[in-house]
């Protein structure tokens, strides 16, 4: 139920991803809204989603968002590009009583900022095949060369806590160097797992003037806008609580919690 402007709602914000990746969005929401309670659901059991059939991803997303709604969340962020591409319209129709925020491909700012006319997009196969990405690229990519590539192995590296390994650097170089060779000066991160590899990416592009674009801060700003629009902010004296859920069991849930607060350092 939506509240009139000027009222308060201390219910939590729900954040959902296939696994650990959405914690990059969780981090930005917590920074933008330090007084809000958050419930994070990292599936874990079915991660990665990137190459799964669209119908299967939609079912998994429905299960997850339904769980967050059952937890009493006042707004849900689908912090998974693959789930957004496959299911966001379905989710907004089924759970029409609450605002649902998806991941917007950051192609627009990349196309507006490019100096070379070449933009690289790293994303999962399912995200690159999604209508939202194709529509956004067509709208803002006129006259721009948009290079797309799945971040092969990226999700698995993050899920295994191997972001700072020689294997990670090799995977990142294999993805970025062809884009750089073709003149890309903007690299869009189209999966919420990928920002965990940003330190490696920054080393690879060091000195080249290439910008790496993470959409997570823009998603947090959208959450702020919706809370203010619908009068859903927590009361000023509310003490925020942070809960973590998973379909993969207690050990994975503990990893989510540890990674969440590690990411704030």
The neighbour count for residue 220, using CB atoms within 10 Å, is 21
Q: Which of 47, 73, 171, 191 is catalytic?
A: 191
Q: Which of 73, 80, 111, 171 is catalytic?
A: 80
Chain-centroid distance of CA 254 in Å reads: 20
- Give the dihedral of Cα atoms 26, 28, 30, 35; nearest 10 deg: -140
Q: What is the DSSP string of 37-93?
A: -EEEEE--SS---TTS-HHHHHHHHHHHHHHHHHTT-SEEEE--HHHHHHHHHHHHH
**Two structure tokens written together for 117:** 């006319």
For residues 133 and 158, give the distance between their C-alpha atoms in angstroms, rounded to a whole number.
Answer: 23
Specify whether 111 is catalytic: no
Specify whether 47 is catalytic: no
Q: Is 200 helix (H, G, I), strand (E, B) or coil?
A: helix
Q: What is the 3-state secondary structure (H, E, C) of 87-118?
A: HHHHHHHHCCCCCEECCCCCHHHHHHHCCCCE
Chain-centroid distance of CA 210 in Å reads: 21
Nearest-10 crossing angle of helices 166-181, 198-205: 50
Catalytic positions are 80, 191
């Amino acid at each position: 139920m939506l509240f009139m402007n000027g009222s308060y709602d201390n219910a939590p914000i729900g954040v959902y991803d296939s696994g650990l990746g959405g914690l990059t969005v969780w981090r930005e929401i917590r920074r933008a809204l330090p007084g809000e309670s958050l419930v994070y659901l990292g599936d874990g059991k079915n991660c990665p989603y990137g190459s799964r059939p669209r119908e299967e991803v939609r079912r998994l997303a429905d299960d997850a968002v339904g769980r967050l709604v059952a937890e009493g969340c006042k707004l849900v962020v689908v912090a998974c590009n693959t789930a957004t591409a496959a299911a966001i319209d379905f989710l907004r129709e089924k759970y029409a009583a609450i605002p649902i925020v998806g991941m917007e491909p950051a192609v627009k700012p990349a196309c507006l900022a490019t100096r070379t006319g070449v933009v690289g997009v790293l994303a999962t196969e399912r995200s690159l095949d999604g209508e939202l990405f194709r529509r956004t690229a067509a709208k803002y990519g006129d006259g721009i060369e948009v290079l797309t590539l799945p971040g092969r192995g990226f999700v698995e590296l993050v899920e295994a806590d191997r972001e700072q390994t020689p294997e990670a650097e090799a995977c990142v170089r294999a993805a970025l160097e062809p884009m750089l060779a073709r003149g890309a000066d903007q690299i869009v991160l189209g999966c919420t797992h990928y920002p965990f590899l940003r330190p490696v990416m920054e080393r690879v592009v060091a000195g080249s003037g290439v910008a790496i674009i993470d959409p997570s801060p823009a998603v947090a700003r959208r959450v702020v806008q919706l809370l203010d629009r619908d009068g859903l902010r927590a009361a000023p004296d509310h003490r925020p609580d942070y809960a973590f859920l998973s379909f993969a069991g207690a050990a994975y849930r503990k990893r989510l919690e540890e990674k969440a607060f590690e990411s704030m350092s």
